[in-house]
Copies of this chain bind each other. A is one copy, B any other.
């Protein structure tokens, strides 16, 4: 089935999209920013910067972390972090249903063959 991912650009310049949503979900799963980043093939520095950006985007932090000893200190989602994931996934579900008729029309025009692997859509 066709899937859609949503990137949200807020008025104040903040962005939230599939990368940050998955990172938060992995932090909830692993209890660690480093482990979540690794699960997504992301450097620790990159993961940390994304978490910092999310924490500065909203009134409340989404992730709390403890600066780590040698093994890293652990991290956890706050209630707002859980709610943020829920709202993002709800927005995505709404987007899928709202775009349904245009998506069906696009699907009807798909070719038979899969496009080449160079087909990465990276947003730029």
Contacts and interface: CB of A to CB of B under 8 A. Distances in A.
Contacts of A42: 124
Interface in A20-74: 20, 40-42, 49-50, 52-54, 56-60
Given A80-B109, A98-B97, A5 B14 contact: no
Given A105-B87, A123-B5, A49 B11 contact: no
* Number of this chain's copies in the complex: 2
B10 A2 contact: yes
Contact of A91 (B9, B17, B102): B102
A36 to B, nearest CB: 13
Nearest to A62: B109
A90 to B, nearest CB: 4
B95 A59 contact: no
A95 B4 contact: yes
A115 B62 CA distance: 14
A16 B5 CA distance: 11
A84 B108 CA distance: 12
Contact of A3 (B1, B3, B9, B56): B9
